[in-house]
Amino acid sequence: MKNLITLLLLSTFYTGLSQVQTGTITGSVKDPSGTPMSYANILIEGLNRGVLTNEEGNFNLSNVPFGKHTIVVSFIGYHTRSKTIEVNKEYTDIQVNFTIQENVENLDEVTVNGKTEKTALETKGFSVNSIETKEAGLRSIQTNELLNTTVGVKIRQNGGLGSNVEYSLNGLSGRSVSIFIDGIPISIYGSSFSLNSIPPSMIKNIEVYKGVVPGHLSSDAVGGAINIVLHEGGKNNLNASVSYGSFNTIQTNLNGAYRFSESGFTVKASAFHNYSDNDYKISGRTIVDIAPNGVQTPIVARRFHDAYRSTGGMAQIGYTNVDWADQFLVGFTASDEYKEVQHGTFVTISPYNGRFLESDALLANLTYQKKNLLAKGLDLNITGVYGKRNRVINDTVAQAYTWAGKRLVGFDGEYLDYIWNSQNENGPTLANIERKVASVRSGLSYTVNDHHKVLFNHVYSGVDREDSDEMVSLLENTFQQTSDLYKNIFSLSYELNTFEDKFKLNAFGKHYWQKVLNTKPVFNEDNTAVIDEIYQSDNDYTGYGFAASFIVIPTITLLTSAEKAIRLPSENEVFGDAGDNLLPNLSIKPETSNNLNIGFRLGKFNFNKHAVTLSSNFFARNIENRIGLPANADGLRESDEFIQYTNLENTAESKGIEAEFFYTYDNNLGFNFNVTRMSLTTVNSGVETNVPNVPLFTMNAGLRYTLKDVFQTNSILNLFYNTYYTDEFTFKFAAGTNTTGEEEFLIPEQVSHDFGLSYTFPKKNFVMSFDVKNIFDQATYDNLSVQKPGRAFYLKLNYIINNF
Residue 469 lies in a domain: yes
Domain end residue (candidates: 105, 130, 145) = 105
781: closest CA among 732, 733, 731? 731
Whether 108 shows a pLDDT value over 70: the answer reads: no
Residue 502 lies in a domain: yes
Lowest-confidence range among 71-75, 373-377, 729-733, 742-746? 742-746
What was the pLDDT predicted at 77? Answer: 66
Strands (DSSP E) contained in 479-529 are 482-498, 503-523
Exposure class string for 530-549: b at 16+ Cβ within 10 A, else e: eeeeeeeeeeebebbbbbbb
Same domain for 56 and 148, yes or no, is no
330 vs 323: CA distance, rounded Å: 18
Whether 7 shows a pLDDT value over 50: the answer reads: no
Whether 80 shows a pLDDT value over 60: the answer reads: yes
What was the pLDDT predicted at 603? Answer: 85
380 vs 455: CA distance, rounded Å: 10
Domain end residue (candidates: 75, 105, 135) = 105
106 vs 84: CA distance, rounded Å: 28
543 vs 442: CA distance, rounded Å: 19
549: closest CA among 115, 125, 127, 120? 125
Same domain for 647 and 592, yes or no, is yes
Which residues are registered as beta bridge partners of 681?
Answer: 653, 690
Convert 602-652 into a string of H (helix), E (strand) and C (coil): EEEEEECCEEEEEEEEEEEEEEECCEECCCCHHHHHHCCCCEECEECCCCE
Same domain for 74 and 187, yes or no, is no
645 contacts 582 by C-beta, under 8 angstroms:
yes
Overall domain count for the chain: 2
What was the pLDDT predicted at 735? Answer: 58
Same domain for 374 and 478, yes or no, is yes
Lowest-confidence range among 436-450, 521-535, 629-643? 629-643
663-686 per-position pLDDT tens digit: 999 878 999 999 999 999 988 777
- % of the chain at pLDDT higher than 90: 48
181: closest CA among 359, 53, 312? 312
305-320 per-position pLDDT tens digit: 999 999 999 999 999 9
Same domain for 95 and 124, yes or no, is no
- Which of the pair, 592 or 15, is modelled with greater confidence? 592
Mean pLDDT for 410-427 is: 92
CATH number at residue 23: 2.60.40.1120
Whether 608 shows a pLDDT value over 90: the answer reads: no
What was the pLDDT predicted at 242? Answer: 94
Whether 89 shows a pLDDT value over 90: the answer reads: no
Q: Which domain holds residue 490?
A: 119-802
364: closest CA among 312, 438, 310? 438
51 vs 449: CA distance, rounded Å: 14
Residue 601 lies in a domain: yes
Q: Is the dihedral of CA 176, 180, 184, 188 positive or negative?
A: negative
What was the pLDDT predicted at 545? Answer: 96
What was the pLDDT predicted at 741? Answer: 55
**Binning pLDDT at 50, 70 and 90, where does residue 18 land?**
very low
Domain end residue (candidates: 105, 135, 155) = 105
* Burial classification of residue 599, based on how many CB atoms lie within 10 Å of its CB (0-12 exposed, 13-18 middle, 19 or more buried): buried
**Binning pLDDT at 50, 70 and 90, where does residue 234 land?**
low
Whether 288 shows a pLDDT value over 80: the answer reads: yes
Same domain for 27 and 85, yes or no, is yes
Lowest-confidence range among 182-191, 218-227, 334-343? 182-191
**Binning pLDDT at 50, 70 and 90, where does residue 418 land?**
very high
Mean pLDDT for 187-200 is: 72
Please enumerate in sequence order all residues whose Cβ is within 8 A of that of 134, keeping only pairs 6 or more positions apart, or say none. Answer: none
- Which of the pair, 523 or 391, is modelled with greater confidence? 391
What was the pLDDT predicted at 557? Answer: 94
Mean pLDDT for 676-700 is: 88
Mean pLDDT for 766-773 is: 94
Mean pLDDT for 17-26 is: 68
What was the pLDDT predicted at 746? Answer: 82
Whether 107 shows a pLDDT value over 50: the answer reads: no
Q: What are phi and psi of 487, to 5 degrees?
A: -145, 145
What was the pLDDT predicted at 116? Answer: 61
Q: Cβ–Cβ contacts within 10 Å for residue 566, how many?
A: 22
Q: Give the distance, in angstroms, between the CA of residue 494 and the centroid of all CA atoms in the same chain.
A: 25
309 contacts 275 by C-beta, under 8 angstroms:
yes
- % of the chain at pLDDT higher than 70: 89
Please enumerate in sequence order all residues whose Cβ is within 8 A of that of 51, keeping only pairs 6 or more positions apart, or say none. Answer: 42, 59, 60, 61
139 vs 795: CA distance, rounded Å: 8
Residue 111 lies in a domain: no
Residue 223 lies in a domain: yes
Whether 329 shows a pLDDT value over 90: the answer reads: yes
Whether 36 shows a pLDDT value over 60: the answer reads: yes
Whether 114 shows a pLDDT value over 50: the answer reads: no
50 vs 529: CA distance, rounded Å: 78
pTM score above 0.85: no
772 vs 770: CA distance, rounded Å: 7
- Which of the pair, 696 or 124, is modelled with greater confidence? 696
372-412 per-position pLDDT tens digit: 999 989 999 999 999 999 999 999 999 999 999 999 999 99
**Binning pLDDT at 50, 70 and 90, where does residue 582 land?**
confident
Mean pLDDT for 522-540 is: 83
What was the pLDDT predicted at 51? Answer: 82
Q: Give the distance, in angstroms, between the CA of residue 546 and the centroid of all CA atoms in the same chain.
A: 21
The whole-chain average pLDDT of the chain stands at: 85
Give the number of residues written for the chain.
804
Same domain for 487 and 600, yes or no, is yes
Same domain for 93 and 129, yes or no, is no
What was the pLDDT predicted at 633? Answer: 56
423 contacts 397 by C-beta, under 8 angstroms:
yes
Same domain for 23 and 61, yes or no, is yes
Please calculate the CA angle 420-162-307 and round it to the nearest 5 degrees: 60
What was the pLDDT predicted at 360? Answer: 94
Q: Is the peptide bond before 604 cis (omega within 30 degrees of 0)?
A: yes
Same domain for 162 and 129, yes or no, is yes
Residue 110 lies in a domain: no
Same domain for 124 and 261, yes or no, is yes
Q: Is the dihedral of CA 201, 203, 204, 208 positive or negative?
A: negative
Residue 113 lies in a domain: no
542-576 per-position pLDDT tens digit: 999 999 999 999 889 999 999 999 999 988 889 88
Residue 112 lies in a domain: no
Whether 634 shows a pLDDT value over 60: the answer reads: no
Largest Cα span, the chain: 121
H/E stretch holding 571: helix 571-575
What was the pLDDT predicted at 564? Answer: 96
* DSSP string covering 259-317: E-TTT-EEEEEEEEEEEE----EE-STT-EEE-TT--EEE--EE--S--EEEEEEEEEE
700-740 per-position pLDDT tens digit: 999 999 999 999 998 999 999 999 999 998 877 765 555 55
What was the pLDDT predicted at 184? Answer: 80
Q: What helix, strand, coil percent values describe the chain, rounded to 5?
A: 10, 55, 35
Same domain for 145 and 44, yes or no, is no
CATH number at residue 356: 2.40.170.20
Cα distances from 44 to residues 61, 89, 250, in angstroms, run: 9, 19, 53
DSSP designation for 136? G
Cα distances from 256 to residues 101, 230, 239, 266, 399, in angstroms, run: 24, 12, 6, 11, 47
